Amino acid sequence: MSGRGLRSPASTAISALVPLVLVVLTAALGASGTPSFEDTVAMVLCNLIIVLGLQVFIGNSGVYSFGQLGFAATGAYLAALLTIPAAFTALQTPELPNLIAAAQLSPLLSVLIAAVASGILAAVVGWPLMRTSTLAIPISTFAFLIVVYNVLANWDPITGGSSGLVSIPRTTSVTSAAIWAAVAVVVAIAFKWSASGYRLQATREGEVAARSIGIGVTRERLIAFTISGTLCGIGGALEVHQSGVLSPDTFYFAASVTTLTMLVVGGARSVLGAVVGTLAVATVNELLRNLEEGAHLLGPISIGETPGLAAIGLGLILLLTMVALPQGLTGGREAGEVEPVRRRLRSRFPSTSPAAPPPGRARPRSARGAAGGLRAEGISLAFSGLHVLREVELALPPGEALGLIGPNGAGKTTLVNILSGFQAPESGSVLLDGEEVTGWSPARLTRSGVGRTFQAGLPFAGLTVVESVAVGAMGVGIGRGRAVDIAVDVLERLGLGEEAQSPAGLQPPGNQRLLGIARALATGPRYLLLDEPAAGLNDEECRELVAILHGVIEDFGCAVLLIEHDMNVVMDLCSRVQVLDDGETVAVGSPEEVQADPAVVEAYLGTSYAVGAHA
Amino acid sequence: MTEAAQSLIDALALGGLYALIAIGVTLIYTVMGMMNFAQGEFIMLPAYILYVLAGLPFAVAVGAALATGVAIAVLAERVAFRPVRDADLSAQLVTSLAVATILQNVVSATVDARAQSVATPALLSESSQVGSLSVPNLEILTLALTAIVLGGLGWLLYRTRIGLEMRAAAENFEMARLLGVRANRVIAIAFAISGALAAMVGVLLVMQTGQVSPTMGLTPVLVGFIAVVIGGFGRISGAVVGGLVLGALSSLLGAYLPDGLVPFRDAIVFSLPVAILIVRPQGLLGAATGEARV
């Protein structure tokens, strides 16, 4: 049932077709109405393109941008200036460069140029903005929107200033708007299901975990930001060819709120949500706008002319959605995705230990071979004066299983953070197969063969099990198809094959542990750093985990660094054990030697465990 | 020399105003982790009170404006923001955007969508002679208010129990809660203070421009946000530094920019955070950027 893909062919087909059918139906409805209704519908379809643009970035990254309308404005102005007849251009924008002023391109060409220009602008603007944090992006993109507005409203000789532009050819029909909207749907859904789209969704589900599987957060955000800017530019260009007029206010704050409301009401995470939200909000908006002009309601109740009524309605809808239905009308699901069923929380640990793999299975990148191993040399680190690590040495040769033990606060996780690039040491260096890798980003280290898991698990809760593992392989640059093969293979070996299509976030704790390991394995690590994989598991689950880890070491041939409190697990798996206490190495040796070491007994075993209990 | 001193005072006064806005934004961010878009409307509504109560004595109108600022902030927290308190920061941001939209358009619908002019007391549009300088009284008032607010906040945060609770909540909200800090009270008080600060800013803006409009809060809230980004998230000191830097820059650009470029002052000022963030993604003073940690 896990199938070969990330979802069944039927689910894929339904998810892609339903939004397209909605676009076609909307266009058909518009074409059958009065000319003014037809104009309204064409406008809604243009808006849909912009909302789909928002979906590509906001929906997949989970980061809000308030600046995408700036790209719509850019596209709109460019398309307008390129198509306004030269006679009118001279009146409205006297200082426009002759090349553009004299140009009277075909509307289609102007839209294409607008698309390219907006995309380039988005890439240029996004390059610095995407480097900032999840919290700073909404603010700096909002700043970008105001900058665009300020320039458009004040650069009179080029843009017509705050009075805007008129006499723009009105060439966007319901049909052409629908065709472009369909293209936008296809682009949005293709991106969402591409390797890049999945990597971006992984950053949405957890930035830290995403970096641990090789994903460059900034890069993935920038790709989506650029595609989003391009779509918004197309939407803006088509819209201006629909209305025939343009001013700096057309794509400013109010339009930002409207399009954002459309996206959020439908459900930002799904392309279907963008379509449904646009249609629903546009309908309500039109009704409210009619009321704004004054209307006679039931009996004696009537309202006078009330500007702002539609906007109040939009604000209330947005507020209610955020409070009551944060994932929107679609729940953030595509048409072919069913609502996950919350099942009894039951661990799916295999009842028998996994068999050795049959030969010839898909296996992540090469195992053994490279000499040298992963080494830490003279690592020291202090947090606000408190020593966390002092001159720590650690060597993890290829293929070995090394246990890292010590009391709470000994510095074990910090050491793993340093080895995996999440924390820079103050002094000392990290060497990977003899190469100095201190200061490398987590993503780069992962791509070079260092994988890790987290104590807290950090699952990609919003993805399915198979997606959340496949994205591990995509994270290190493996193509989508092969990534899925690897994920299916890893999941089967770990006994999670049957869970492939269920949401990762709804898995019981035992499966979450395995899922973290599976995700790291999918990146094809040569060195796998496991941070307390057995924490929170019961005795039986622990034994099963040990069996699985044995299989992992043998099948995948990767070296394992195991932080673990459960001595049974350590003694069973590791040929060598290193003991940390208070940031310093107390002992290194075979499990037996370490257990017999008086310093270890004093530091660790003596306090928490009976000596010899596991000997 | 005189001209330079004059520019400096102008820059400080505008920086002080921006710092007041940024402190209001930061206070809410520290206790709730929310960047509040509606802060601009907490500024705009009290400003409209001055317009509505134009006939009454100025002091009464200002008192009513302050009360309005506090009331609207506390009300918005109770009705709109409490339900999304545990949501992620994007959801909170969008919720505050919804609140901002509603408040803005309620004013459009009930008063007017266009700007209205408000008479200001003559005293505030005059200037005082300080040494060889002629300083507008409004700038003196702004600087004085900034100093008083900073002193008052310092006292509140470091000398009172509620201040201790607020700092604890800012440090680690869940832990503070476990230790008995009453979350609802701390957050409500932060909103009340923030609303009062916003009302002060609203009054100062009306005195400066002589008019009110439904969208008058938009630029100030962005100024506050950017000041916070520049200064580093979640620190009062960062907000003050960010506000001063932004105000000084804006003021100096206004004075020294070539004529042709003056209309683009806002564009240049608002591009600044991008420039700063390229060099220092964590802000000028910042450590806490809201970036996820292991």
Instruction: Say yes or no for a CB contact (<8 Å) between B35 and A139.
Output: yes
Question: What is the pLDDT, as a whole number, of residue A351?
Answer: 43
* Option in A208, A323, A417 nearest B84 (CB): A323
Cα–Cα distances (Å) from B200 to B61, B68, B161, B203, B255, in that order, read: 12, 11, 25, 5, 26
Of A594, A214, A125, the C-alpha closest to A441 is: A214
Alpha helix stretches (DSSP H) within A368-452: 412-419, 442-447
Question: What is the pLDDT, as a whole number, of residue A95?
Answer: 79
Express each pLDDT in A518-553 by its tens digit. 999 999 999 999 999 988 788 888 888 888 888 888
Instruction: Say yes or no for a CB contact (<8 Å) between B109 and A312.
Output: yes
User: Would you say residue B129 has pLDDT above 90?
Assistant: no
Tell me the average pLDDT across A241-254: 93
* Option in B84, B108, B226 nearest A308 (CB): B108
Instruction: Round to whole Å and give the CA distance between A441 and A77.
Output: 41
Of A238, A224, A239, A229, the C-alpha closest to A120 is: A229
Instruction: Round to whole Å and give the CA distance between A96 and A74.
Output: 15
Residues of B in contact with A146 (CB under 8 A): 219, 222, 266-267, 270
Q: Name the residue of chain A whose CA is nearest to B82's CA.
A: A323
* Option in B109, B219, B291 nearest A134 (CB): B291
Percent of chain A with pLDDT over 70: 91
Alpha helix stretches (DSSP H) within A244-270: 253-266
- Count other C-beta atoms under 10 Å from residue A608's C-beta: 10
Question: What is the pLDDT, as a whole number, of residue A296?
Answer: 66
Q: How many CA atoms lie within 13 A of B204 on its CB side?
A: 27
Question: What is the pLDDT, as a whole number, of residue A302?
Answer: 66
Mutate to test the interface with B, among A127, A221, A312, A319 (most CBs of B within 10 A): A319
Q: DSSP letter at A194?
A: S
Inter-chain Cβ pairs, chain A and chain B, closer than 8 A: 159
> Are B162 and B189 within 8 A, CB to CB?
yes
User: Would you say residue A358 has pLDDT above 50?
Assistant: no
* Option in A143, A151, A322 nearest B226 (CB): A143
Residues of A in contact with B97 (CB under 8 A): 257, 260, 318
Instruction: Round to whole Å and give the CA distance between A546 and A602.
Output: 27
Question: What is the pLDDT, as a whole number, of residue A345?
Answer: 47
Express each pLDDT in B206-218 by its tens digit. 999 999 999 999 9
pTM: 0.90
Point out which residues pair with A529 in neighbouring strands. Answer: A452, A561
In one-letter notation, the amino acid at residue A40 is T
Express each pLDDT in A270-286 by its tens digit. 999 999 999 999 999 99
Mutate to test the interface with A, among B36, B44, B105 (most CBs of A within 10 A): B105
A351 against B256, higher pLDDT = B256
Torsion A532-A537-A538-A541 (CA) sign = negative
Question: What is the pLDDT, as a whole number, of residue B76?
Answer: 97
Domain ranges within chain B, ordered by starting residue: 2-279
> Are A516 and A454 within 8 A, CB to CB?
yes
> Are A108 and A146 within 8 A, CB to CB?
no
Q: Give the rounded distance of the alpha carbon of A265 from its chain centre.
A: 20
Task: Find the length of chain A.
Answer: 615
CA distance B46 to chain A (A): 19
Greatest alpha-carbon span in chain A: 95
- Name the token pair of B96: 């505050």
CA distance A47 to chain B (A): 19
User: Would you say residue A9 has pLDDT above 60?
Assistant: yes
Q: Which CATH architecture has domain A374-608?
A: 3-Layer(aba) Sandwich (3.40)
Q: Which CATH architecture has domain B2-279?
A: Orthogonal Bundle (1.10)
> Are A368 and A398 within 8 A, CB to CB?
yes
* Option in B89, B101, B282 nearest A314 (CB): B101
Express each pLDDT in A10-22 by its tens digit. 889 999 999 999 9
CA distance A130 to chain B (A): 10
Q: Name the residue of chain A whose CA is nearest to B83's CA.
A: A323
List where CATH 3.40.50.300 sits in chain A.
374-608
Cα–Cα distances (Å) from A446 to A2, A209, A214, A334, A530, in that order, read: 27, 11, 5, 31, 14
In one-letter notation, the amino acid at residue A15 is S
Express each pLDDT in B12-53 by its tens digit. 999 999 999 999 999 999 888 889 999 999 999 999 999 999
